[in-house]
């Protein structure tokens, strides 16, 4: 028995499989019977009408009413390095049916054995016969030979007449949801708030630091405030009259420039009062102020020393000129508004 099993192992080791040929070969088995059998099958594992490249198939055999305890040996096939058919899985034997027998009789089984094969090349292949060594319980050695089968492997057909190539489709764009927009709205509002705050702080700083941005008081308020600085001072003393008269007349020049649009700061006394004649300032008041300006010119440029009586009239006259001209403008504006009503 041991010699028979060793013989079966040596016999079915190293047989080459899957040369692309039309001839099938029966391997003689010395010392045992060679019995040709039916029941070979080639079953595709994919459900389609034809076998395509890389499809897997189960190639094997079926035996009926095999006595329980019978031993089998299967050929160990090697893949062809040149391509063709390739072995994917080893031999697997399953029991498909157990027969009912009388008590005391040996159990009979229907078995099914096979291995998974495939091919990565198009073509027609004659698969080799399947030769299975069988050793019965009585020690009888047989070789069961199953007929070979033909395998046709095809490629996926392409209808070039009706095939139309298409461009690659672009990325699918889904509508933007409100949930996705909320963060961007928040960022936008935050940016607007920061810009507004920065602008507000900048303007506030400029108003405090730059006089050009500061709110300007009316011309008569500015003039009266500046004239008040000379009240109660002794600037009109003999040694300080030049500064006193220059300061007072400069305040009046600024006032005339702001109220009447005359460039008094760059004009001489004669030019100023020549232009002032076109205004609504009373002639008597205009003459008094002109005398003040001429006296100031003498003090500044001719080293004239004015009397205390003349000096005492300077500030009251300047204040009266500002207040009377301002009040005259207010009354004229009121008359215009009353006439319109």
What are the pLDDT digits (tens) for 137-182? Answer: 888 898 999 998 998 998 877 666 666 677 777 777 778 787 888 8
Percentage above 90 pLDDT, the chain: 15
At 60 the pLDDT is: 93
* Same domain as 103, residue 147: yes
At 104 the pLDDT is: 81
Please state the φ and ψ torsions of residue 301, each to the nearest 5 degrees.
-110, -20
Report yes or no: 47 and 112 within 8 Å, Cβ to Cβ: no
Region at 332 (left for phi over 0; alpha for psi -120 to 50; beta for the rest):
alpha
Does any domain span residue 337?
no
Q: Note the pTM of the prediction, 2 decimals.
A: 0.41
Does any domain span residue 66?
yes
* Same domain as 75, residue 123: yes
Distance CA 247, CA 268 (A): 16
Q: What are the tokens at 198?
A: 């920065």
Please report which residue ranges of 124-240 form alpha helices under DSSP H: 178-209, 219-227
Q: What number is the average pLDDT over the span 20-24? A: 33
Q: What number is the average pLDDT over the span 125-131? A: 90
CATH at residue 67? 2.60.40
CA-based nearest residue to 249, from 277, 268, 276, 221: 268
Distance CA 55, CA 335 (A): 110
Distance CA 76, CA 63 (A): 20
Question: Is 240 or 64 the better-scoring residue by pLDDT?
Answer: 64
Q: Which domain holds residue 182?
A: 178-213
Domain total in the chain: 3
* Same domain as 260, residue 288: yes
Per-residue pLDDT tens digits for 42-98: 888 888 888 888 889 999 999 998 888 889 888 887 776 556 888 988 899 999 899
pLDDT class of 193 with cuts at 50, 70, 90: very high
pLDDT class of 14 with cuts at 50, 70, 90: very low
Q: What number is the average pLDDT over the span 326-339? A: 65
* Same domain as 147, residue 9: yes
Please state the φ and ψ torsions of residue 160, each to the nearest 5 degrees.
-70, -20
* Same domain as 191, residue 96: no
Distance CA 292, CA 310 (A): 9
Tell me: pLDDT of 218 over 60.
Answer: yes
* Same domain as 121, residue 76: yes
Q: Whole-number mean pLDDT of the chain?
A: 80
Per-residue pLDDT tens digits for 281-309: 888 988 999 999 999 898 888 888 888 78
Does any domain span residue 166?
no
Percentage above 70 pLDDT, the chain: 79
Per-residue pLDDT tens digits for 23-42: 333 334 434 688 898 989 88
Q: What number is the average pLDDT over the span 195-203? A: 88
Q: Where are the beta strands (DSSP E) in the chain?
A: 13-16, 33-37, 40-44, 51-52, 56-67, 71-73, 76-78, 85-87, 92-98, 108-119, 123-126, 130-135, 141-146, 150-154
* Same domain as 327, residue 295: yes
Question: CA triplet 103, 105, 108: central angle to 5 degrees?
Answer: 115
At 12 the pLDDT is: 44
At 62 the pLDDT is: 93
Helix (H) or strand (E) holding 231: none
Residue 222: burial class (beta carbons within 10 Å; 0-12, 13-18, 19+): middle
At 27 the pLDDT is: 38
Does any domain span residue 14?
yes
Tell me: pLDDT of 334 over 70.
Answer: no
Helix (H) or strand (E) holding 252: helix 241-260
* Same domain as 143, residue 250: no
Q: What number is the average pLDDT over the span 96-102? A: 88
At 77 the pLDDT is: 78
3-state class of 309 per DSSP? helix
* Same domain as 186, residue 263: no
At 245 the pLDDT is: 86
pLDDT class of 194 with cuts at 50, 70, 90: very high
């Amino acid at each position: 028995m041991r010699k028979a099993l060793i013989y079966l192992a040596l016999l079915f080791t190293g047989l080459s499989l899957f040369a692309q040929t039309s001839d099938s070969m029966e391997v003689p088995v010395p010392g045992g019977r060679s019995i040709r059998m039916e029941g070979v099958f080639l079953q595709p594992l994919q459900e389609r009408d034809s076998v395509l490249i890389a499809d897997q198939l189960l190639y094997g055999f079926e035996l009926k009413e095999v006595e329980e305890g019978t031993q089998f040996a299967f050929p160990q096939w090697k893949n062809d390095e040149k391509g063709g058919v390739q072995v994917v899985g080893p031999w697997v034997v399953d029991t498909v049916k157990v027969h009912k027998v009388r008590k005391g009789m040996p159990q009979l089984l229907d078995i099914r054995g096979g291995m998974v094969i495939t091919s990565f090349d198009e073509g027609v292949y004659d698969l080799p016969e399947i030769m299975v060594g069988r050793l019965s319980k009585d020690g009888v050695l047989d070789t069961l030979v199953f007929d070979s089968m033909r395998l046709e492997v095809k490629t996926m057909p392409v209808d070039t007449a009706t095939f139309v190539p298409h461009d690659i489709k672009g990325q699918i764009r889904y509508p933007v949801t409100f949930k996705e927009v909320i963060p961007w709205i928040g960022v936008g509002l935050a940016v607007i708030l920061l810009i507004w705050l920065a602008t507000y702080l900048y303007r506030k700083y400029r108003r405090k630091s730059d006089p050009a941005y500061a709110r300007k008081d009316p011309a008569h308020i500015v003039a009266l405030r500046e004239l008040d600085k000379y009240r109660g001072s002794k600037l009109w003393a003999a040694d300080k009259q030049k500064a006193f008269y220059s300061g007072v007349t400069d305040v009046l020049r600024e006032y005339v420039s702001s109220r009447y649009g005359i460039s008094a700061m760059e004009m001489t006394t004669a030019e100023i009062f020549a232009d002032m004649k076109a205004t609504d300032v009373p002639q008597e008041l205009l003459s008094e102020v002109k005398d003040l300006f001429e006296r100031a010119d003498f003090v500044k440029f001719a080293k004239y020393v004015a009397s205390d009586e003349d000096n005492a009239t300077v500030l009251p006259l300047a204040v009266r000129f500002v207040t009377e001209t301002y009040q005259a403008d207010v009354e004229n504006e009121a008359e215009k508004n009353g006439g319109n009503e």
